[in-house]
Amino acid sequence: MPLRYASPATTPTGSSRPAGSPPRPGSTSGFSPFPYDLDAAELVGYLTGAAERAELLRRETEREVVMVLGCEMTLFCKGFVPGEGLPGRTATMTNPATWATEEGRAPLLAGFQRARDTQRETVAAARQVFGGRLTYAAGMWEQVDWDQFDIVSVDAYRDAGNAERYADELRAYHRFGRPVVVTEFGCCTYRGAADRGGLGWTIVTEDGTIPAEYERDEAEQVRYLHELDAVFDEERVAGAFWFTFAGFELPHRPDDPAHDLDLASYGLVAMRPDGGWEPKLAFHAVAALYGGQPAR
């Protein structure tokens, strides 16, 4: 859910728009395919094909199209972090024992280097077919060679573990001399969810229920939104995207707290079991903050 975005100063080469005619102010769109559980070779092929489609779109629209070459690839794709599927890789990454010893860190560091090598191959291939700006939605733990990208983008969830250094970490991304965009931020819909940040969804048990200790609190999302919006202003963040509009697979059941899966949703709206949706407090908060605001 885009909240703000800085318009480009120039038009990328190769556009079907007249020379010297930039996109309309505030008319930037992100083309962001989501590769999942692909290995390195599959990832390069998938993103190259996506870049070809993004170029077709770029040539046929007055909007600037920015290509996002993947998202947190070390976690969402295979061959970089040990573990079976997303649950296994998440368990590896969040296990303190993984990071406690040189022996434990070695497989991760080797995997991170493979990811960087794969990324360079992907960028080179995408540049051959796409004439617009490129970025990548990085996890905060990932070491990215930002010299090859036009925009620095990071999925920047604040939680209890990084709250004290969060602003400093965002500020540090400016050292690469490129616009800094937060491609994801947000929290779930229960009291204390802000402290869990990007892992707030993990409260759902294996049998698909919400433990009784978690209390629904839509205001938690609003507080998180306002607090981080202030940080983004202070740290000169060019763009920020709330994750997400809706947790489509997490229905809201207000009369059944144990199965009110919307507590584990980052969505600005709550999905009803019938497929409809209802705006949450955060939906209105976003509208109040950014409705009608000029592009930045």
CA 114, CA 116: separation in Å to the nearest integer?
A: 5
Task: Decide: 279 and 269 in contact? Cβ < 8 Å.
Answer: yes
Q: Are residues 132 and 231 in the same domain?
A: no
Domain residues for the domain of 70 are 1-150
As a whole number of angstroms, the distance between CA 242 and CA 158 comes to 12
Q: Are residues 142 and 247 part of one domain?
A: no
CA distance 111 to 81: 6
**Residues 49 and 112 reside in one and the same domain:** yes
Closest CA to 123 of 68, 183, 61: 68
* Cα distance between residue 24 and residue 26, in whole Å: 6
Domain co-membership, 191 together with 146: no
If asked whether residues 209 and 112 sit together in one domain, one would say: no
Distance separating alpha carbons of residues 165 and 157, to the nearest angstrom? 12
Nearest to 119 by CA among 141, 84, 143: 143
Q: Do residue 45 and residue 108 come from a single domain?
A: yes
Indicate whether 237 and 93 sit together in one domain.
no
Residue for token pair 């999925």: 155
Number of domains present in the structure of the chain: 2
pTM, entire model: 0.89
Cis peptide before 48, with omega less than 30 degrees from 0? no
Asked whether residue 62 falls in the same domain as residue 136, the answer is: yes
Please, are residues 35 and 115 in contact by the beta-carbon 8 Å criterion? no
Query: Are 198 and 262 found together in one domain?
Result: yes
Mark which of 130, 150, 170 sits at the end of a domain: 150
In a domain, 158, yes or no: no
Is 10 contained in some domain?
yes
| Measured distance CA(79)–CA(233) in Å, rounded | 37
pLDDT, position 15: 34
**Within this chain, do residues 103 and 233 fall inside the same structural domain, yes or no?**
no
From the first residue on, what is the mean pLDDT of each consecutive set of 10 residues in the chain (296 residues)? 41 34 62 96 97 97 95 97 94 93 93 96 98 98 97 98 98 98 98 98 97 98 98 96 97 98 99 97 94 56
